[in-house]
Amino acid sequence: MRLRLPAERPAEPPTGYKIAHPMLSQDGTRAGFTGVSLGGALPYGVLADASCVYGLRHRPPHRRCDCGFHCVHDRAAAEALLCTAEHRTAVLLEVSVLGAYLRFERGFRYARQRVRAVTVGRCACGAVAGALADAGWGRAGWQALAPRCGECARGRAGVSLAEFARLAGGGVRMVAGSGAPVVAVGGVAPGAAGPGTRTGVRTDASGLAELAAEAALLQARLDWFQVQLARLGERGEDAGPQG
């Protein structure tokens, strides 16, 4: 006789953590996410119901299948997945586990979820990301996005973090890579060109830092050239008249 664990009936939905790639619909009117493993071909919204990726008619999560949404209990365990090369451009999701679920040692497999918060990592150049811009790949009808700073987002299709939250709906909260929440002023994030903007978003802080670094580099090069010119002048004087 196999003993079964008692059914859980929590007063509040459990919280879980997972990683996913942010997505933007082809017409730019919807925002969502796609998973990094099983079911990654099916983008989902802030509030979504799971379906069996194998096309079976049972309700996820079925005990004899691996269908359903997946998440882990520990935030640090989800963050560790962002260190792998193929997941560097993914974002961290904090989700509410809704509906039926199966509890495992490290996480849940469940039927329904609500994305509550999205933590966006830094740009590939190391600067704080102020936008989500074209990642260079996608799914049918959906364009994948990646965290970008103002300079790296220039010329790429994308949206500001606040605009992504507006398109995703459901009151999802966006958190920048520095840990600071994204505050929208009139629906537009600081540094954004305006609502619906799908070009690069430049933030004043990152722009000034980059300009200062470029100015310092140019000054160092000018100093080096002046030293070289001075040395050439000294050699010319020592050589005496030629011919």
Question: DSSP character for 187?
Answer: T
pLDDT at 98: 94
Q: Residue 63 has what pLDDT?
A: 86
Strand partners, 143: 24, 138
User: What pLDDT band is residue 235 in, cutting at 50, 70 and 90?
Assistant: low
Task: State whether residue 218 is helix, strand or coil.
Answer: helix
Cα separation, 112 vs 109, in Å, equals: 9
Q: Pick the more confident residue, 101 or 1.
A: 101
The tens digit of pLDDT for each residue in 63-96 reads 888 889 999 999 999 999 999 999 999 999 999 9
Q: Which of 31, 29, 110 is nearest to 66 (CA)?
A: 110
Is the pLDDT reported for residue 227 higher than 50?
yes
86 burial class (0-12, 13-18, 19+ CB within 10 angstroms)? Answer: exposed
Q: In 41-160, where does DSSP find H-type helix?
A: 75-81, 150-153
Who wins on pLDDT, 69 or 199?
69
Of the CA atoms within 13 Å of residue 158, those in its CB half-sphere come to 30
Which has the closest alpha carbon to 162: 134, 204, 208, 129?
A: 129
- Tens digit of each residue's pLDDT (9 = 90 or more) over 27-43: 999 999 999 987 778 89
Task: Report CA dihedral (121, 25, 159, 70) to the nearest 10 degrees.
Answer: -20
Q: In this prediction, what percent of the chain has a pLDDT beyond 70?
A: 71
Separation of alpha carbons 134 and 166, rounded Å: 18
Give the C-alpha separation, 113 to 62, whole Å.
16
- Tell me what pLDDT residue 10 has: 82
Query: Phi-psi bin for 190: left (phi > 0), alpha (psi -120 to 50), beta?
Result: beta
**Considering only CA atoms, which of 106, 167, 110 is closest in space to residue 142?**
167
- Identify the pLDDT of residue 236: 59
Long-range contacts of 212-221 (CB under 8 A, 24+ apart): none
CB 40 within 8 A of CB 100: no
